[in-house]
Amino acid sequence: MNAMLAGIFGGWEIILILAVVLILFGAKKLPELAKGLGTGIKEFKKATREVTDEIQNAGTETPALPPKAPPVNTTAQSTPPETKVV
């Protein structure tokens, strides 16, 4: 898209657009507009980076496994028979 815009707008067109913006908003408002635009771009990049990190972390996390049951003792236990006392 940038290549397409570069073909449409030449050097004189960009200077003309900047002159119109300067006339419309005035010299005092331009720094405020630029600051707001910069802050908006910064917030957008931060949000994009957070979403990208979250997606990457979701792909690398291992799913939680259910707890293992205790092992079953399959060996016979040799216990003496119970004796009753009367």
Helix (H) or strand (E) holding 38: helix 29-60
- The CA distance from 10 to 32, in Å, is 26
Over residues 36-77, the pLDDT tens digits come to 989 999 999 999 999 999 988 887 766 666 677 777 766 655
What value does the mean pLDDT of the chain take? 78
Q: What is the pLDDT of residue 43?
A: 96
The two tokens of residue 14 are 């960009």
- Is residue 5 very low, low, confident or very high in pLDDT (cuts 50, 70, 90)? low
Q: Which residue has the higher pLDDT, 28 or 5?
A: 28
pTM: 0.46
